[in-house]
Structure 1
C-alpha cells in the first residue's frame, strides 16, 4: 500500500500544474493533502472521484487559507475532523480517518513565521496535538501521521542550520518537540529508510533556492511504533514542481 502526503499550496494551482496526471502514475492508496486553500471543494472533487477516490475535505473557515484533505481508494469506517480545539479546527488543521486495519491523520501544523502571535499559536498546537496523538496511540491500531509539520528536526534536515538557529521552524523548542514526539512511540518513516543529508521537502521561492537545493525537510510521515515492521520504503519526490513543497511517500505492507 502506498501513502503520499503533499502540501499543494492550493489544490487548484496544483491541478493546473499536473497533479491529476501525476496521481494517475503514482496511484496512491491514500493521498493526504495540506493547504488546499479552497472552501468550495465541490469544484475539484469530481476529478478525484473519477480517479476512484473517496474524498474527505476539511477547509478552513477563512477562504483561501489552510485546510486539509484525505483522498483514499479505501472507504474509511470513521472520520474525525479536528482535535476538538476551535482555534485550530476553524483553520482546518487535521483529519483522522480509520480504515479498519489502520488509521491515517492528515495534518497541517501552524507556521510561526509571521510573528510572535502565530508562534504562540504554533507552540500551543504542538502541546495539544502531542496529547491528542498519544491518546490515539494507546488504541494499538497502526497510525500514520502525515503532513506539513513546519519544523526541521535535526541539522541534516535544513540547508543552513547555523544561520537558521533562531528562525521559526528550526527553534530549539520546536526541534525538542519532534524529539519528544518520536521518543513517545513514533517513527520518522523517511529517516528509517534514508539517513543522508540534503533531503528536503520545502524550498523558498526566493533567490533560486530550489535550483540550489537550499531547502528544509518539514513534511513528514510518522508512524506509531507498531508500523515499523510494516514499512517497506519511503521517498521524498523532489522532482515534483507543483508547489513550494514536494510530496513524501511511503510503502507499507498492511
Structure 2
C-alpha cells in the first residue's frame, strides 16, 4: 500500500469517528442506519479499510454532516469534493435571491434577516431597522455580523431587556457550531469577552406558561417583545444555499404588534 493511501485512510477514519461520537451514535447504530456491517465501519474508522466515495457520502448523510464538512471527508479519503460553493451574486443564484426577497418583504412590518454560515448578514427587510437603531456605525459596516450586532455593548445589547437569557442562548448555539466549524471559534471567543451585567442561565428551564424565549427590546417609550423562527432551503446542493438561515421575528404580544404596525404607518 502506498504511503499517501495510508495517510488518507488514517485521516478520514478519525474524522468519521468524530462525527459519529458528536451525534452520540455507537458503531452498531450507525452501521444499521447506513446498511453496512459494523465490522467494516470499525475498519474504516481505524484506517484498516479504505471507504469508497459512495460509502463516505452515505455515512455523512446518516451523520447529518454539513456539506462543507462532507467535502472535507471526501478530501481526507482521497476523493474530489462534490459540493460547489457559488457566490450568492452568481447568475445561477437568481432564483435563490428572488426567494429571499419575497420572504423578507412579505414579512414586513416585522423584522426579518438572512445570515450565512458565519452569521454575517446577507439581506434584511425594511423593518430590521427596529433592531439596528442606535447601533454604532462601525457595527453596520459590511460585512455585518448578526451576533456581534446583537451582543456588542455598542450594538443592540443596551436595549435588550433580557440580555442575559439571550446572550446565553446565542453563545450556546455558537459554541456548538464552533466545535464543528473552526471558522467560528474566533467569533465565539470575541463575543465571550463582551460585558453583561445580567445573570446568564446555564440551563434553559421554562417557567409556568412559557412557550418560547422572547426577545424583549426597548424602543423609546415602547417595550417590544418578539419570538423568532428559523427557516432554511430544502434539499440544497450548494454550500452557500445550505448555510443560509432566514430568521423571522413575530410579535409575542398584541401590544408589540400594535406598536410595530403604528411605527410602519406613514
What's the TM-score once normalised by structure 1's chain length? 0.26
More helix by share: 2
Q: Larger C-alpha radius of gyration, 1 or 2?
A: 2
The structure with higher relative contact order (CA 8 Å, sep 6+) is 1
What's the TM-score once normalised by structure 2's chain length? 0.25
More strand by share: 1
